[in-house]
Amino acid sequence: MRFAIKTRPEHQTWAQMRDVWLAADQIELFESAWNWDHFYPLTGDLAGPNLEGWTMLAALADATSRIRIGCQVSGMIYRHPAVLANMAATVDIIADGRLELGVGAGWNQVECDAYGIELPPLRERFDRFDEGVEAVVKLLSQTTTTFEGKYVKLTDARCEPKAVQRPHPPIVIGGRGKTRTLRTTARWAQQWNAITQDPRDWLDLKGVLLEHCARLGRDPGEITCSVNVRLDTADDIGAAVQAAAGYREAGADLAIIGLPLGASPAILEPLAEQLAPLAPPAAVASPA
């Protein structure tokens, strides 16, 4: 099993998050680091601070040198797909080819109501998501793109300069919707991410993903299957490692450890030491 970290941009400062990512960049066990795409906090005081995800990624792309970076996941309702494609290409250039392009359909009613962003009914939201993912992939991989969808229309559209990673940065789709999300994952994604209750729940969802892959003729081995594991406090590292071990037995490729709110860089070395027995030998190395 491979490992990553996730920091929540709510109720903490830029310096706190930056310092954690810089420390993770020096620990070989952690292959990637993630934030989220929200404008309001998701816990505690909703009137509290929450840093914006993509501008943060651009800064962290320049500050780090090894670790892959991503937003888990970008709400398609927040940005036109062409805008998102251009943002992704630029961040991947800043990162020298380390971006993981996370996308999801979006869901946060509170943020949408506050900002006047339309949150369509579920079916339309996923129709928009399907078109949006296809448009982003084409813009990042083709010289020009003409796309005539119901919601996305592009005419000889360019996205230049292109991302470093070709044909495009890996597409990471987050979600557990069996009918739509997992079908779109099977069609377009290089990684599927889920927040699940336990390994049995995760296995059930993966089984559906495999069915979609079979129907579409997609090799499921091309898709990294990841899962989020929450670490509530520095005293709970053992419980988080045990949870990761359960998902490893279920066949998960990547465990993304959600760090405690306001965690300091000091948590990373003991976390890496306890996770190391679950990782392939080549992934285990001392901090640089």
User: According to the model, what pLDDT value does residue 59 have?
Assistant: 98
Q: Is residue 284 predicted with pLDDT exceeding 80? A: no
Per-residue tokens: 3: 């490992």
Supply the pTM of this predicted model.
0.94
H or E element, residue 42: none
Find the mean pLDDT for residues 115-137. 97
DSSP code per residue over 82-140: HHHHHHHHHHHHHTTS-EEEEEE----HHHHHHHT-----HHHHHHHHHHHHHHHHHHH
Share of the chain above pLDDT 90, in %: 96
Domain ranges of the chain: 2-283
pLDDT tens digit sequence for 55-74: 999 999 999 999 999 999 99
Q: 231-269 pLDDT, tens per residue?
A: 999 999 999 999 999 999 999 999 999 999 999 999 999
Length, in residues, of the chain? 288
Whole-number average pLDDT of the chain: 96
The CATH architecture assigned to 2-283 reads: Alpha-Beta Barrel (3.20)
Tokens read off for 51: 């840093």
Query: Which pLDDT score, from 0 to 100, does residue 288 have?
Result: 43
* Distance, CA of 26 to CA of 242 (rounded, Å): 24
Instruction: Return the pLDDT at 280.
Output: 85
Over pLDDT 70: what percentage of the chain? 98
pLDDT at 52: 97
Q: What is the pLDDT of residue 282?
A: 67
pLDDT value at 205 more than 70 = yes
Assign 230 to helix, strand or coil. Answer: strand
Q: pLDDT grade, residue 286 (50/70/90)?
A: very low
The 3-state DSSP class for residue 278 equals helix
Q: Which amino acid is at 146?
A: T
